[in-house]
Amino acid sequence: MRCLALAAELAARGASSAFICRPGGEADAAITHKHRLFKLPEGQVNNDAQQTLATLSAQGLEPDWIVVDHYQLSSEWERCLRPRTKRMLVIDDLADRPHVGDVLLDPTFGETGERYHGLVPSGCRCLCGSAYALLRPQFRQQRQLPERHLPPPDRLAVHVFFGSFDTSNYTARFSRLLLKAFDSIRVRAAVGHTYAFPQQLRQLASESGGRFTWEAGVQDMAAHMAGCDVAFGAPGGATWERACIGLPAAYLTVAANQIAIVERLRDSGLCAYFGAAHSIDDNAFVTAMRRFLLDTSALNAMRALGMTAVDGRGAQRVAEILEEAP
């Protein structure tokens, strides 16, 4: 979604974008947003560079910028594609592999670029920190007033989202625990188009007395979040969306590479972190969530810090930098 946010901002400035990716939710979203889309064959990424080069040649594409956003692609892929573009922007937040791009973007709150020392060329420009978080305009438009007061803990509405590919069905598990442990709160869940357990959510909704609602393939996530008071789920791009819109958030990690980032965010006061989703037991989750929901002072501080850290204008800032490049 962050590439779509940048493409939308560039389109508003008269540029055109093409997506080259493998089949999946992100590809479908690109079609929905009316950008050109070229799908690579399904399979592993070990020949991704050659397939991408072949697509560029077949389509007669001569890009001014190539934007790379994939955790399994590193400097080898970038070197192969670098001769086919004037400039290259690499999006990363792990700092676990080298890059050869002209610009590196890491939107992590508090990131200074020090982690990338020795991983990027000396002339690479690093755009680091949450001011560069790539969000769609809807999140800026849905920003809630900073002075808005949260309702009492037993009246809160919780937004639940574990990413577009919740193959472990954490959405159903933790939504059910929330509804059982907290008698009055409401839960609104979002899942991806390919979510494999819709019947469980339908059953949960039918048993909840109107306290649980859900939607698959949400088109306007900002509006979907806007009716809630706090958020819970997995980190990722949604981290910055939640902060921008003013939702204090609690997290369970679903991948090992998320842990260090979420721990840094927790230590900065930007979120609460309960641990890994696969290992936390039900009682520990309920105890952690109760502590999170009852600490109104911490929730308000988290809300204010998030809205200050992420103002929703990151795509504009990055687009301006791309436009300025010779």
pLDDT at residue 326 in the model: 77
| pLDDT attached to residue 89 | 98
How open is the CA angle 160-314-93, to the nearest 5 degrees? 65
| Residue span of the structural domain in which 117 resides | 2-135+312-324
CATH number at residue 10: 3.40.50.11190
149 and 279 belong to one structural domain: yes
236 plus 319 within the same structural domain = no
What's the domain count of the chain?
Answer: 2
- 65 plus 177 within the same structural domain: no
pLDDT tens digits for 171-226?
999 999 999 999 999 999 999 988 999 999 999 999 999 999 999 999 899 999 99
Report CA-CA distances (Å) from 287 to 63, 157, 181, 183, 265.
52, 18, 10, 15, 21
Task: Say yes or no: 219 and 157 in one domain.
Answer: yes
Q: Do residues 160 and 301 both lie within one domain?
A: yes
- What pLDDT shows up at residue 150? 84
pLDDT at position 168 is 97
Residues 258 and 153 in one domain: yes
Q: What is the pLDDT of residue 267?
A: 97
pLDDT score recorded for residue 115? 95
Q: Do residues 129 and 186 both lie within one domain?
A: no
Same domain, 131 and 173: no
Contact call for residues 111 and 261 (beta carbons, < 8 A)? no
Q: What is the pTM of this model?
A: 0.92
Same domain, 174 and 302: yes
Q: Which pLDDT score, from 0 to 100, does residue 147 have?
A: 60
Residue with token string 């949260």: 150
pLDDT of res. 145: 64
Residues 123 and 229 placed together within one structural domain of the fold:
no
Distance CA 103, CA 178 (A): 42
Residue stretches of the chain with pLDDT short of 70: 24-33, 44, 145-148
Say yes or no: 65 and 151 in one domain. no
pLDDT digits (tens, 9 = 90+) for 64-84: 999 999 998 989 999 999 999
Q: What is the dihedral of CA 276, 282, 283, 289, to 10 degrees?
A: 60
- Please give the structure tokens belonging to residue 224: 């979907």
CATH number of the CATH domain containing 154 = 3.40.50.2000
CA atoms of 310 and 270, how far apart (whole Å): 11
